[in-house]
Amino acid sequence: PSEARDRLRIAIQKSGRLGPPARALLSSCGLAWREQADRLFCRGETLPVDLLLVRDDDIPGLLDSGACDYGVVGRNVLLEYAGRRPQETGSAAAVELRGLGFGGCRLDIAVPEDWDWQGPAQLQGRRIATTYPRLLDRWLVAQGVQADVVTLSGSVEIAPRLGQADAVCDLVSSGATLRANQLRPVVTLLQSEAVLAGPARPFADARGALATMLLRRLDGVLKLRD
Ligand code: PRT
Ligand code: ZN
């Protein structure tokens, strides 16, 4: 989509849960960068592979526009973004290329502990708070359930106690946050983990050979970790 390039650009989370393991994984693949505080762009020293340090939510868009070639991002974020692509112009649709084995979590529906859960039909006409409105919508349509999706950017688990919603649809790993808010997971919409996202088709320029080598190294490292 963009101009011919001879360096690869990989977007990872600047901080947060996936940043440190993503860096460690790429280091294991033989990549190295000069560390500079507060730099959002790190030029690769061992190979022509540069890092971009960003918010995880921005990664699918950076891939879609061709500003970055690869990204390490939660499957949940990638799929939520993919759900909105048809209406927008996006050029190079990024796909999941590899599951990376860290950042594991589930996208679950959770309801108040005192509900006698009978199944999805119980959500009919209810308000469900989430940060993942498109994934939730798709699931509700598949279930034939009409509910009110309340989109929040964070603190989803507290919404029922604040009277903003009846149930939630959020990421769960240990389940401690749900329990602390008297909520109980009842359905899993998605099993997620960090993934390598990138173009479905190979690069036509000098990035092609580099990408092939990088993916081969990555597969070697992932195999050793199994
Ligand atoms: O700043 P930036 O926007 O980049 O970071 P962020 O705050 O949006 O993301 P971050 O670092 O919290 O999460 C990045 C990715 O990690 C997510 O997109 C998931 O793919 C993955 N991941 C894995 C999780 C969790 N586990 C997780 N438990 N992301 C969030 N949580 C939250 C969840 O939302 C809930 O609030 O942790 C809480 C639940 O945890 P438990 O252990 O109490 O169940
Ligand atoms: Zn984020």
Q: Which domains does the chain have, with CATH numbers?
A: 8-103+193-225 (3.40.190.10), 105-192 (3.40.190.10)
CA gap 22, 45 in Å, rounded:
17
Answer whether 73's CB lies under 8 Å from 79's CB: no
The preferred substitution site among 12, 17, 62, 152 for testing ligand 1, maximizing ligand atoms within 8 Å of CB, is 17
Residues with CB under 6 A from ligand 1: 13, 16-18, 55-57, 74, 76-77, 103, 105, 170-177, 192
Instruction: Give the Å distance between the CA of 118 and the centre of ligand 2.
Output: 33
Q: What angle do CA 94, 96, 97 make, to 5 degrees?
A: 105
Close Cβ partners of 66 (under 8 Å, ≥ 6 residues apart): 1, 2, 91, 92
Q: Whose CA is closest to atom 4 on ligand 1? A: 55
E strand intervals along 15-118: 41-42, 49-54, 70-74, 94-99, 105-112
Picking from 99, 111, 156, 117, the residue whose alpha carbon sits closest to that of residue 133 is: 156
- Residues paired with residue 150 on neighbouring β-strands, in sequence order: 129
The pTM of the whole model exceeds 0.90? yes
| Environment of ion ligand 2 (residues, CB < 5 A) | 56-57
- Residues paired with residue 107 on neighbouring β-strands, in sequence order: 171, 190
For residue range 94-123, list pLDDT tens digits in order.
999 999 999 999 999 999 999 999 999 999
CA gap 45, 42 in Å, rounded:
9
For residue range 12-56, list pLDDT tens digits in order.
999 999 999 999 999 999 999 987 777 899 999 999 999 999 999
Q: Whose CA is closest to atom 5 on ligand 1? A: 16
Instruction: Give the Å distance between the CA of 171 and the centre of ligand 1.
Output: 7
Q: Whose CA is closest to atom 11 on ligand 1? A: 16
Instruction: Give the Å distance between the CA of 57 and the centre of ligand 2.
Output: 5
The answer to whether the complex's ipTM is over 0.95 is yes
